[in-house]
Structure 1
Amino acid sequence: MKTMASFLATVVLVSCTAFSGFAGDTIKVGLVDTYTGPATTFTNDVLDGFRLATERINAKGGVLGKKIEHVTRDDKFKPDIGLTMAKELILKENVDILMGTINSATALAVSDLCKKEKVPFLVTFSKSDKITGEKGHRYVFSLNENTEMAGRAAAKVLAAKPYVKYWIAGDDYEYGHAIANGVFDHLKSLNPKVQLLGQSWWKVGETDFTPYITQILAAKPDFVIVATGGAGMVNFQKAAQSTGFNRRVPFYQHTAIELSTLLPQGPNAPEGVYGTANYLFYYPDTKENRAFVDEFRKAYNRYPKSGALYGYMAAEFIAKSFEKAGKVDREKFIDAMEGMAIDSPVGPLTMRGC
């Protein structure tokens, strides 16, 4: 994977990553994610990237003579529903592997379940550093950057800026607090002179940001760390544009510059927003990435967003890990996955074990 703060820096994929998988003619993967509502601007690409890779793998004979198939469940961006859907996929659908989800709180709940049931869980979009850090275990893998990585990248850029007085504002849930802490804690270590004037937290799904924007502007910070996720990314940027917030105080959002955030706004996206991302379709400008972009565009008639890369590489890691394991066995899959190095559209990737 790659992480980016208006530039890209190398990141290592993480596993804090068994009960054997189920015998049969297929390798069955269950995807639990948000498939309704605004978050689909992120999650649909994960599913499409996964489909694209598995169709190619299956066309070449599959893995160990077995085709990769998948089933999906919609968690509706709610941890309790996500946990219920994950249980259904494991206990009723008998999936060999579980994948998901965009909601970090859901990912943590599902991860605990997978630890109990000894089922490998590939996290494709959730970014809380707790997933493979404090709450990490043998059965969980991460296929993207986490809040620690993104926070470190953003802090490196901000530490070189003249901003001293900061404000934090964002979605009041796991990811919001994790990314805010990831940025400011690293920033403080790089520039001890920075000050945190205050914080504003709103419920997930909030669309009326006027009282919060009023509060922030009254405090007169030099810079604002906006810790929103999912649909909140777009909603806050729209509010910033309509109120002129971005023209009065600079602010940062992780994934602010990704297609998933910009495309829903079109030409009305606010200018001057600081953002980090770990994949943009035009970078790196290599034959491997161009081939991936062309393959995705041919299949779906659009450019791939970051989620497309996550889903695509999840399928690749699944295929190559089972091939290395030599059989469809969850414990052997995990042993093979840890330390696995593969080529990707953005260069060599390694799945780091605990």
Structure 2
Amino acid sequence: MANAASQTSYQLQTVSRALETMRLLEGAGSPLSQTEIAAALGEPVPVVFRILHTLENHGFVSRLPDKRYSPKGAAEPDGMGLPLDILKLLAAAGPHGARRSQLASRLDAEPGQVDAALTVLAERKLASVSGQDVWSPGFGLLELARPLLRGSLRTAVRPLMERLRDESGETATLFVTSGRQQVVVDVAASREPLRYELEIGRSFDLPTGAAGKAALAAMADARIREILNEAALPATDQRRIMVEIGRVRETGFATSTGERIEGASAVAASIRDESGRARGVMGLMMPAFRNPPDRLQHLGKVIVSQLGKLRLPEDMGVSEPDGESI
């Protein structure tokens, strides 16, 4: 009986803490992080994590893209109006994006409503956020805008992608940067029975893979360090990546083997417009067993040579939102 009473008491305490968590979130006026909730309740972060995990699984709270929490449905966006207004503001903000506080101020909306709308947009890849709470349009918009993208980067480089695919026998892929991720926007799949290809819309962290390193190499060092810090990479890994980026800048292309997908190799180079601004990355992806290092080096030189012949206008339709290039 004593054990049963003790278990009942523990369960009641757990329910009580969950209710206190809900009361705290509802009265906060804006989403809270695990650390903020733990400090307010006087509980260890692991305990708060379990409470929030349970509440989220049962639909009582929502976890936002920046890992803060708010009550489920407490500040739902008003239909499609607010999310669409936010997308318009993000598009107008240009490559530097906008913070959620700026969006709330411009739209005269409650912070909780803006958070809820941004969550909806992020879940559908229509908006993306950096570690500094800066929001930009997401590349899920490409799927919606594809019929309108005449004169876009994809249209301009597609013939070259198909030519490289046919000459090398390997899959050609077009990437564009969104925040600190690489997003696949087009694929010319190899015709070989054994091949590697990525789905359009799939995204990867920038620090890994040939395409990621090619994109980083086109950025200013300050932006690269910001991205590596946001990825929480150890100092030794950051130094190694910076050395690799130095080599990419010397040769014009990046290579990788097994960094993203075991057994796959890749080579990639940055695509630039007539002003020299980076607009995206083109790469070839292939099984490692049929592509030794010397062939990767050869394919890298071919890609750099062919991309150098492209003449892309400065007002090309789809560009990297991260702005500053070197």
Common fold: TM-score over 0.5:
no
Work out which structure has the larger RCO, using CA pairs closer than 8 Å and 6 or more positions apart in sequence: 1
Question: TM-score when scaled to structure 2?
Answer: 0.30
Q: Which has the higher helix share?
A: 2
